[in-house]
Each structure stands twice: as C-alpha cells, then as structure tokens.
Structure 1
C-alpha cells in the first residue's frame, strides 16, 4: 500500500485533548465500565423549551433552505440588541456575523487578521484550540504564563515582556476556560491601553460571560473605552449560556472590514449556519432569560461543593473559580507517587491514573499549555460530582 503523507499543515495539528479524553471515557463506557466524566465542558441542562419550540415552528413553516452566509437579518438584529442590552456595545448588523459555534468564529478571526510570521499572544492556561487554529494561519502562538497566586490573570508587565512588533493579536478569554478566572476591570484597561497604543487587535472570547459567581462581573473590553472598540473582535456562543452545544451556533461582532473578511472566508468553508438553529438562536437572545439565572444558581452550588471537596482531598488543591464551570486543580503533590508500579510524573499521568484507577475522566493541564494541573467540569449533578470525587479520593489513598 502506498504510504499516505498528510500535508504539513494538517500533520502539525494536535487532536483536541478534551475530545480525545471524552473519546477514551466513552470507549470505556461502551465496554461496560462505569465512567464518570468531568472532561467535556457541556451543560447537563436541556435547552429551554421556548427555544426548542421556535425550532419546531421553523421546521413546520419550511424554513429549511440556505440563508445568507453571515446569518439571517432577524438573528443579527437580535445579536445587536443583546450586545447593547447586556454589554453596552453598539453595532449595526454589518458588524455582526453568525457562525457554526464560537470555535469557527475564532478561527475565522485569526485567519482574517494574521499572516504567516505574525504572532498571537495568549495568556495561559488557555482554551485548547487557540494554538492550533493560529498555527493553521501560518502565524505563531506565543504563550503568556499566568500564576495561581494571581488567580491565573495576566498583568500588563506579563504582556509587555512578550510583546514585539510581530504581535498582531492578543486573546482575552474571560471568564476563562479552564481556570474560571475573570479579568479585573482596571488591569484589563491597562492591558488594553498598551495594546491599542501598539496597534494590536484583541479577540475577546466571551462564551462564559453569564456564568459568574460570588459577585464577579464581566465587562466586555470593547465597552471600556470608545478607542478600544475598533481594535476588538467580540466572539460569543449560545452553547453554554442556553445549553445549546449541539445546535452549533455563535456570533461575532467587530469592525465591518474584519467581519466582511470573516464572511468571505465562511462562504468558502461552510456557507450559512443551520437555518433552523438560527431561528432558535434569535428566540434565545430575545426571549425570557430566566433559565440562565436558574442554571447559574445551580452551578454555584456545585462549584462550592467541588472546590471544598477538592481542597479536602490529600494531594489536591484549587482556588475558587469566579466564572465558567471549571475547577483547575493543582495535582503536583501527587507527582512521584506510584500506582501499580507506575510513577506519576506529570499531570497527564495523573489524569490517566484517575481514569484507570477511579474511572473518572479529567483533562490534564498540558492540554491548556499549563502543566501540573487537571481540569474538572462541574456542569454535572451534585450526586455525580460527589461520586466522582469519592472515587478519586479512594484511588489516591491507594497510591504508594
């Protein structure tokens, strides 16, 4: 058989670690193993009924054809209204694009802004797909490490150390996946002033903006000062806020020239977003928002339990996340210990140990460009969280 050689572009991409971990967990489940997964960041709530009814209505009315590549006017207008209401940001529909989830829009923004040889600064720990998406554009991801002591939030000095004239884009993900960190307003202003002064674009990934706890507040960087807005591309999704992960729908807003470029690219990649999902998304943004508050209230209870429990387990520790639905737990105190004669030397070993010994799936920190930690998802029932952590505590007790 002829050897198949993949392109350098594709061969250089790493599989999504969260998807890979979920696949391993699901494989064990198919083999009859009772696996609890804290790996995939997906709400365990159902999509609210009023949203589902809008989709059914669209189907019954035959709204099943192609739409404009960048989205239907009705949904773009709903996004414009939401951004004004929730984020104090004013756009017209020419500055908005609808995409197949936030992930597609992130890639399109990178591809529209970056040329080969450009650099993109990303605070770490960071979302797993940023670096490979940037690599696909020919640009280079440059990581800006944060510290647990600073609650995983970068400071201006961290950014200044790594900024250089090749830097085209800076990424802000707040609340953050995987840490739950929320960027404080004053430090965000300091960073934005520096970036705008140096003509650096900012992609703001705001997918978890509603998932906030203990008085934390989300403020879109583009809304902090009028001079910031022309340098920002706001990316968001309905997946987490409205429990619509499978609907694959998100939106972005920014300068018209950039949105037009993203629209041209999307026209050749996928064309329009699912027409039925677009109708449902418009209803989600314009309809009653009560379900969000109920979900966040429940997440807060789960977060409190998971944080307290992790900090009570020997060898594990974590800080309190201020947003999203993740706990980024420090597992360095487990390094050097052994399981069935195998020494735990890094966070990937620890994640494998949890899966094999406790049948609990987590994602290792290396997936987020930050070693020594693992990510837990608390978008699970309290019963599931308790059982999973019981198993981990028991397995850790058997280490030598």
Structure 2
C-alpha cells in the first residue's frame, strides 16, 4: 500500500526510537539503564488520580467540546493569572491531546507551502518534522553552549526572510536546559513586532527551573507582543501526567477558533476524564510541583558533576528542565572497543551496545557534538549510568 510523500518524508521520533530499542534489549534480559525518554519518574499526584477516578464515577465519559471543556479552560485561565500574571479568556484556549498535538494543530493552522519558521538549535526532535509535515521550511539558529544554550537575538532577526512567519522557542529547553532571560524575551518580542512575526512559545517545562531562575513568557512583554504569541503548555511534565495526554495553547481568539475547527475534524475532543483530572491538577495544591522541582535540582547537580568527571566530556549546568546535554565531540574520530566514533549517533549507539546506557544523539536535535541524558530517574540510576559511561569511554 502506498504512503503519501508527506508521510514518507517523516522520521520516527529519535527519543521514542532509542527508548524502544532499550526496551527490546531489556526484554532480551539485558540490564539497560534508559536516560532516553523525557518522562518524570514520579507518580501522578494522588489527588489528581482521585479526580480522574471521580470523573469516571461522576459520568464524565462522553464527548466534550472539541477544543476542551469550559471547566478546564477556566482552570487554565486561573493558572495563567497565577503563574504569568496574564488575564486570559476561555476563547483564547484550545485543549488538545498533549502539547505535541497542539503543536501539530498550530502548524496545520498557520503554515502554507513554503512558509518559513525559525527554530533554535538544539531543538526538540519533533519541531522540524511537524513543520515539514505541513510543507513548511525552517532555519535553525544556533544557541551555543558558551551562551548557556540561549541564542543571540540578533542572529534570529538575521535569519528572517520574506517567507518567515514565526519563531519557535522552548524555555526551559529540551534538550539543553537553556533558559531565556527576561531581556532576551523582550528583545525577541521587539523583533516579532517589528518584523510581523508570530512567537510560538513552548512553555511545557516552565515550572522546572533551578538556581532561582524565573520564567518569562513573550506574552508578558507587552500587549503588542501578546497579540503575536502562541503559548504551548500542558500537564505532562509539571504534574507527571505524560500518559494523560492533555496540552493546550493560549493565543488570540480568532486563531484559536481556527485551531478548534481543525481539531474538530482531526481528533474531536481530548479525553474527557483526563480533562477533569487536569483541571484539578491546575486548581489544587501545588506542593507536589515544588517537591518534584527540588528533586530534579538535586539530580541535576549529581549528573553534571559525574559527567564532568569523565575525561573528554564537558557538560554545562542546565538552568531548567530535566536533561543533561554533554559535549562528547572529543571522542569523534577515535576507536573504542573496535568501533569508530564519528558522530553523536555513533556515540549513543556505542553507549547502548557497550555500556547498556540509552541516550539520545544530538543529531536528532539539530546539533552534532552532544548527547542527551534525561535525569528523570533515580539518583542511584544516575550514578550507575554515569559509571557505565565512564567505563565505556575508557575503551
């Protein structure tokens, strides 16, 4: 059976592919430690789980409006006021089946063939493929390690063409942990207003910040900037609800209406039970959010210290999210245990086969020198994994 050219161009998610291979090896009886998947290892908070159970018992098992329930939208409005100081209306919110689905909706609603989007490299693995799925093009502006993985805003403006419609940022960043400072966001907002661009701001990790950093959204800069900003968010990372599949956008009402129309023809509504639980997560106690953030901070310190102790490995301290993104390029061109290492993909495959440690190559994120390790796992596993990496790199 023939596949369309559009689907034939797509690549499987590198994170999912590496995690699947690791699980296959585990099924074969191998003791693989997986640092590939960006999924918190904490349970969903008990009160949120109970809200899901009560939603089932209360009969919340039918269709909802395609773009989400009024209750969840009002909860998102309340959270936006609490976390961002923004007054948002339900008409500005579209709820989807996770933030990835919302991003697909956004590109489907805004990208015409040949339209151009600017990304920041390293970027999350799905951004580029989603843009190309809708026949768009992209340019990646480098966010170098010596700038803590935050790009020069002047470089972003220099990448603007007459077909550029949007800039997509992710702060804190997956995979680098880079965090845009308030002045960077303000400068980007100025570019967007002057150059008639939309800012797509993926804020899914905004509650996972370290060292006293604060989140700042482009929508907070000015009313003009807010009119040009689409916020993407969800409950997956903040509340450890990856499997519940609830994400949303906050955008001008006219654009949001288009998202809802598209979604009504693609998937209809998000899961009704998960919507009820997500509303309770947003409106209920936030103690679990801070507890998880604090634990991630401790794990960050452990993994960065251990990685930097390995000869030839250099790892910056991420300012947010739960990923370490070490530079392993000093090993490129070398032969380890009979295997030539030329790329980050070679390195990730070598560490999986020889060290039984699953990572994601930087090639998947638009850069060449790094690999990504998620520290959304126990400190014990972090120590064991870094020990295995050190042994494998010793040859």
Map Cα deviations across residues 69-120 of structure 1 (whole Å, 9 max, x no partner): 0111110000001001111111111111111000000111111111111100
Query: Which of 130, 137, 141 is residue 127 of structure 2 equivalent to?
Result: 130
CA distance in 2, matches of 1:87, 1:309: 35
CA distance in 1, matches of 2:288, 2:188: 34
Map Cα deviations across residues 195-231 of structure 1 (whole Å, 9 max, x no partner): 1111101110000000000111111110111210100
Map 1:54-69 to 2 at 5 A.
54-69=51-66
Query: Is this contact kept in 2: 1:223–1:229, CA < 8 A?
Result: yes
The Cα of 1:5 is off from its aligned counterpart by 3.1
| Alignment of 1:110 onto 2:104 | no
CA distance in 2, matches of 1:111, 1:192: 23
CA distance in 2, matches of 1:188, 1:286: 28
Query: In the alignment, which residue of structure 2 is the partner of 1:297?
Result: 294
Query: In the alignment, which residue of structure 1 is the partner of 2:69?
Result: 72
Query: In the alignment, which residue of structure 2 is the partner of 1:238?
Result: 235
Gapped runs of 5+ residues in structure 1? none
Map 1:254-265 to 2 at 5 A.
254-265=251-262
| Alignment of 1:8 onto 2:5 | yes
| Alignment of 1:318 onto 2:315 | yes
Q: Which piece of structure 1 moves more, 151-160 or 15-24?
A: 151-160
| Alignment of 1:331 onto 2:328 | yes
TM-score of the pair, normalised by structure 2:
0.99
| Alignment of 1:195 onto 2:192 | yes
Root-mean-square deviation (CA), in Å? 0.8
Query: In the alignment, which residue of structure 1 is the partner of 2:376?
Result: 379
CA distance in 1, matches of 2:89, 2:22: 44
Query: In the alignment, which residue of structure 2 is the partner of 1:147?
Result: 144
Query: Which of 20, 23, 40 is residue 23 of structure 1 equivalent to?
Result: 20
Q: Which piece of structure 1 moves more, 147-156 or 350-359?
A: 147-156
CA distance in 1, matches of 2:321, 2:113: 33
CA distance in 2, matches of 1:298, 1:173: 22
Query: In the alignment, which residue of structure 1 is the partner of 2:81?
Result: 84
TM-score of the pair, normalised by structure 1:
0.98
Query: Which of 163, 175, 190 is residue 166 of structure 1 equivalent to?
Result: 163
The Cα of 1:340 is off from its aligned counterpart by 3.3
Query: Is this contact kept in 1: 2:179–2:320, CA < 8 A?
Result: yes
Query: In the alignment, which residue of structure 2 is the partner of 1:351?
Result: 348
Map Cα deviations across residues 299-347 of structure 1 (whole Å, 9 max, x no partner): 1110000001100001211111000000111000111221332210111
Query: In the alignment, which residue of structure 2 is the partner of 1:44?
Result: 41
Query: Is this contact kept in 2: 1:155–1:191, CA < 8 A?
Result: no
- Aligned residue for 1:169, secondary structure, equals strand
Query: Is this contact kept in 2: 1:71–1:272, CA < 8 A?
Result: yes
- Aligned residue for 2:105, secondary structure, equals helix
Runs of at least 4 residues off by over 4 Å: none
